[in-house]
Amino acid sequence: MTHEEMVRRADEIGQASVPLIPEAERAGGFGAELRDAVHAAEIHKLLRPKRYGGFGMGP
């Protein structure tokens, strides 16, 4: 996973989340749709060390 690919994926999630913001503000958090998008894009692996299945892109 390159830095550019992760930025592209994060940008796609950001754009997709814009219409969800009003409902998220009313509900006090994002729903399953955004959670599933983050999971599908593997954003949750960004800071996880490679030895544990992540991308190891953290500090």
User: What CA–CA distance (Å, rounded) separates 6 from 37?
Assistant: 13
Please report the pLDDT score of residue 30 as a whole number.
87
State pLDDT tens for residues 12-56.
999 999 999 999 999 999 889 888 988 999 988 888 899 999 888
The domain limits of the chain are 3-52
pLDDT band at 4; cut points 50, 70, 90:
very high
User: What CA–CA distance (Å, rounded) separates 6 from 22?
Assistant: 26
| Token digits of residue 18 | 């814009």
